[in-house]
Amino acid sequence: MNAFDWFVLLGTMLGIAAYGAWRTRHTDTLNTYLRGHQSTGWGTIGISVMATQASAITFLSIPGQGFESGIGFVQNYFGLPLALIIVCAVFLPIYRRFGVYTAYEYLGRRFDTKTRLLGAGLFLLQRGLASGVTIYAPAIILSTVLGWRLDLTIICTGLLVIVYTVLGGSVAVSLTQKWQMGVIFGGMITAFVILIVKLPAGVGFGEAIGVAGAMGKLEAVDFSFDPNRRYTFWSGLLGGLFLSLSYFGTDQSQVQRYIGGAALREGRLGLMFNAVLKIPMQFFILLLGALVFVFYQFQPAPVFFNRAEWRHHVEGANGQAFGALEEKHAQLHQAKEAKVRDWLGARAGRDDVAEAAARAEMVAAQQAVEVVRKDAKAALVAADPRAKTKDSDYVFISFIMDFLPHGAIGLLVAVMFAAALGSKAGELNALGSTSTIDLWRQVRPLAAADEARNVRVAKWLTAMWGLFAIGFALFAGFAENLIEAINILGSIFYGVVLGIFLVAFFLKKVGGTAVFWGAIAAQLVVFGLYFSLSISYLWYNLIGCAACVAFSLVLQGLRGAPGENAA
Amino acid sequence: MNPEKQPPQDDESPGVPGFRTWRGVYLFVIGCFVAVVALLTLFTHLTA
């Protein structure tokens, strides 16, 4: 990165943060601090919902996913539009009718305090721990590639987001997210255009799509029922529906984004905006990754995209073996480029027989390269059993650093930071709100009427969660297994929380005690299954939800009387 | 005051040109989803 890149990066990131903090510095009513301005329109809500979901990892990992496995991952989002329609039709009107600040406050009104605390506690545990990972995960990739100090990257990103989120609350979050999404869209479109322009002479967009398709990278939809297939239409529709319903309907970091606004209409249209745009947006990001794959067919590519890790081993004791793998990969990669050009020639000649033969040779050449890449990963593990062999997260950032002009590099790095700040801000805002409304107010019920004090407490608690996230991220490097555990923890809690909300909305005869113990039992079942089965985490959303609903019904049936606090 | 006793807001007009009810908006979104899946399926077949 040169001075111009730094100017673009710091100008956009500091400019947006400073603007957000300055514009919202006088936010002093609790309602505005937690729910945003009454005048917030559907466009702002829609962008805020999108920005909260799209973290930096979305823009680092998803192009890498397109590069490595193709665009089939898009199917994971197929349940999202249907889930958002359910949230619009059922969840949102109830939240607004009750006038709640948090989703868990509704559980308190519908059931009792213990169920409210269970919902809030599960959210704080899962989201609070994950908040450190949201900073750590992109910071480790960006600091590795850019050569920055990891601790400084984490501290600077964390402090920047704390300043404007604490000062302006929900208003600052949605205001800055709007500008951050502008940077993200601008940057991703710039990368796409430059990628197409930089393809070699004679290879246009149509040819690039042809190569990606022939290499099996453009299989977007798979209707098969094979459970061994990672992404299919059915797993995406069903698993994705439950995951999205849990995330958008019960996770405070999302609920807080859409419960504000002048009327119910604004939240609903904001969610529908996401229901229509999310799949095309994910398709675009994955396609970008597939086109980066095509781009590298005509450029020398590294055998392992996490170059810092690879270099460390090349310069180590087994350097010769790693060097030999590197050389073999370079030769095979060059041979493959010739095969790709042969295939493009055969395709242009419209000779079906020649085209089929050239395609088979091209695919075989690609498979030979994949074998060397696998050998390289095996060599890394042999040299260091703790080595990280997943290099797809480094593909897009490597492309940016190696092939984009100065200025565009700064813009694309700004995209990653904008996404990190946007999702982090939504998360901190929700953690601060839930701690204030669902926990602090329980301890200090008499202080609930003192609005200024509530705002002060919400600000302190938001700052505390921010500092906790920074602290956790700084120590996360020492406990990589913990990060994985936290990610798993999140996915196995979501289903049960959704179950509690579905009982609240649809089973009016079930009361607080039945749903509380039903949820605890369901969570134990999910933990038990997790340790005894090996199934995709998407299914735990469905199992946890179904178990919670079933146990609640059974327990209420055993108790006999209708729900004691049912509204 | 019991908040559930307040008048329901579900009947609010979406205020979107061409749509008189929320049901219409939801059907439009489902239609968009079906169209996107159909286009992606077509894309898969054309590029295979």
CB A415 within 8 A of CB A187: yes
Predicted local confidence at residue A555, as pLDDT: 94
Nearest to B25 among A98, A209, A272 (CB): A272
pLDDT, greater one: A488 or B14 = B14
* Averaged pLDDT score across all residues of chain A: 89
Beta bridge partners of B19: B16
Predicted local confidence at residue A436, as pLDDT: 93
Cβ contacts below 8 Å, chain A against chain B, sum to 80
Predicted local confidence at residue B1, as pLDDT: 38
List, for residues A299-322, the tens digit of each pLDDT value.
Answer: 989 999 888 888 888 887 788 888
Backbone angles phi, psi at A310, to 5 degrees: -65, -45
Domain ranges of chain A: 3-296+401-475, 307-388, 479-567
Chosen from A85, A91, A224, A505 to mutate, greatest number of chain B CBs within 10 A: A85
Predicted local confidence at residue A566, as pLDDT: 43
Separation in Å, CA of A395 to nearest CA in chain B:
23
Work out the pLDDT band at A485, boundaries 50, 70, 90: low
A143 Cβ neighbours under 8 A, 6+ residues apart: A149, A150, A153
Separation in Å, CA of A73 to nearest CA in chain B:
12
Strand, coil or helix: what is A160? Answer: helix
- CATH number assigned to the domain covering A3-296+401-475: 1.20.1730.10
| CA-based radius of gyration for chain A | 25
Q: Which residues of B touch A279 (CB under 8 A)?
A: 33, 36
List, as ranges, residues 67-96 from A with C-beta within 8 Å of B.
74, 78, 81-82, 84-85, 88-89, 93, 96
Between the alpha carbon of residue A135 and those of residues A169, A175, A305, A311, A425, the distances in Å are 19, 21, 22, 25, 11
Share of residues in chain A with pLDDT > 90 (%):
56
List, for residues B1-48, the tens digit of each pLDDT value.
Answer: 344 444 445 557 888 888 989 999 999 999 999 999 999 999 999 988
Distance CA A564, CA B16 (A): 42
Predicted local confidence at residue A562, as pLDDT: 57
Q: Nearest CA to A364 among A336, A383, A345, A392?
A: A336
List, for residues A336-352, the tens digit of each pLDDT value.
Answer: 999 999 999 998 888 88
List, for residues B26-35, the tens digit of each pLDDT value.
Answer: 999 999 999 9
pLDDT, greater one: A44 or A387 = A44
Backbone angles phi, psi at B19, to 5 degrees: -125, 125
Predicted local confidence at residue A367, as pLDDT: 93
Check whether A372 has a pLDDT greater than 80: yes
A197 Cβ neighbours under 8 A, 6+ residues apart: none
pLDDT, greater one: A280 or A139 = A280
Separation in Å, CA of A169 to nearest CA in chain B:
26
The answer to which of A161-165, A235-239, A388-392, A484-488 has the lowest mean pLDDT is A484-488
pLDDT, greater one: A106 or A567 = A106
Check whether A26 has a pLDDT greater than 90: no
List, as ranges, residues 25-44 from B with C-beta within 8 Å of A.
25-26, 29-30, 32-33, 36-37, 40-41, 43-44
Distance CA A432, CA A170 (A): 11
Predicted local confidence at residue A106, as pLDDT: 95
Interchain contact A276–B (C-beta under 8 A):
yes
